[in-house]
Amino acid sequence: MSEALRSALQFRALVRRFSRNRRGSAAVEFALIAPMFFALIFAIMETAMVFFAGQILETGTQDTARMLFTNQAQGNAWDQTAFNNDLCQRVQVLLDCTKVYTDVKSYPAGTPANLTDPINAQGQFVANFTYSPPPPNSSNIVVVRSYYQWPLFVTGLGYNIANIGSGTDNSKKLLAATAAFRVEPNGS
């Protein structure tokens, strides 16, 4: 038998043994599936954090807006800083207070509320908000809105829930919370 034939037969036998050997197949299968599995896990975790942060912002906004609803903010002469500080105490467990934006607008009863979209046509956040609480002893309609730009990390893996800077390295999800109510009569 020639040396070339012997080498060919040995190579064939080696290939047959390799094809029957199953010891490393689990590792190879895991290596093929692992990137998709971890991308899914990270996407689920990021989505859960976004919803959790949104709920914290919503609850904090409702609780702080209640101070306007019950005339406590007006009675204590709250300005925008005092309003933001109260909101900050409620959301600081998860949100950076320096990045929370609030918009408080008061409308006389029967007047339509004119609310603008904080995301412009280019997909950027525009923060031009005001603080105009209702005057004391009024029955105005008040709309309180709070916003927070939540940074996203998993967008590079093909999962994108961004509504600010979508498709860029700086994409974010704008969390929004709104409370609308008519101020309680003061009773005086």
What's the pLDDT score for residue 106? 92
In a domain, 50, yes or no: yes
What's the pLDDT score for residue 157? 67
What's the pLDDT score for residue 153? 81
Which is nearest to 101 in space by CA: 164, 169, 184, 170?
Answer: 164
In a domain, 149, yes or no: yes
Note down the domain range covering 73. Answer: 23-182
Q: Please check whether residue 50 is in contact with residue 174, taking contact to mean a CB–CB distance below 8 angstroms.
A: no
In a domain, 136, yes or no: yes
In a domain, 14, yes or no: no
Write out the chain's pLDDT in tens, 188 residues.
Answer: 678 778 888 888 877 776 666 677 777 888 889 888 888 898 899 999 999 999 999 999 999 999 988 888 888 888 999 999 999 999 999 999 999 999 999 998 888 888 888 988 888 888 888 898 888 778 889 999 999 999 988 766 667 788 887 777 778 899 999 999 988 776 54
What's the pLDDT score for residue 88? 95
Which is nearest to 153 in space by CA: 39, 34, 31, 58?
Answer: 39
In a domain, 92, yes or no: yes
Q: pTM value?
A: 0.78
What's the pLDDT score for residue 95? 94
Which is nearest to 136 in space by CA: 65, 88, 86, 184?
Answer: 184
Q: Please check whether residue 147 is in contact with residue 176, taking contact to mean a CB–CB distance below 8 angstroms.
A: yes
Q: State how many domains the chain has.
A: 1
